[in-house]
Amino acid sequence: MTLGEIFVSSFISVLLDRLASRELLKVATQWKIDYEVMKLRLLVSKIDAVTKDVEEKQLADNIKKITERFNKIAKEIVKLGLRENVVEKATGLWRTLPSTSLLVDHVFGRKEDSKKLIDFLKEDIEAGVSVVSLVGQGSVGKTTLSQTVYSDERWIHILTSKGGLSYQETLIW
């Protein structure tokens, strides 16, 4: 949306509010121009509707263009055989890179929590599928703890992929 479109949209909203004010309707009735004010209000409402329709169509068109561009990029990724956030190990297994740029090198005071979580995950893996939810107040280290456990070198990450896109990850201890 351009600056001019934003201005017009804001102007129409303010104008509609002013045309609907009690003070204006009172003065218009006294001056016997209330019918003209109502016609003006109806006209501005129609202009507002057309403006909103244009905005929606432009938005839909922009979304369509962006979607088409993303689809082209996805096709190029497949065509080039690229994989997302993946580094190949010598063993032929794949390991995902952390999804954040913050790599956990040294974490202080969470070794015991990390060990407990790893032990819990190992028990569940032996039983089948393992899912853990880390819940807590903000900024207490949930993400850091999960990154520490996930990036533990004892895990082997196996990614199943098709057409260059990974869709399943298996963790083996």
In this structure, the answer to whether residues 167 and 96 fall within a common structural domain is yes
- Asked if 87 and 95 count as a contact pair (C-beta separation under 8 A), the reply is yes
Break the chain down into helix, strand, coil percent, rounded to 5: 55, 10, 30
In this structure, the answer to whether residues 90 and 168 fall within a common structural domain is yes
Given 46, 80, 114, which residue is the final one in a domain?
80
C-alpha 143/C-alpha 118 separation (Å) is 15
C-alpha 58/C-alpha 39 separation (Å) is 29
In this structure, the answer to whether residues 108 and 68 fall within a common structural domain is no
Characterize the bridge pairing of strands 156-162 and 86-88. Answer: unpaired
- Domain region containing 149: 86-172
Query: What is the pTM for the complete model shown?
Result: 0.38
Reading the chain (173 residues) residue by residue, the pLDDT tens digits are 666 677 777 888 888 888 888 888 888 889 999 899 889 989 988 988 888 888 888 888 888 999 999 889 888 888 887 766 555 544 555 555 555 545 556 777 888 888 888 888 777 666 666 677 888 888 888 888 888 887 777 776 555 555 555 555 555 55
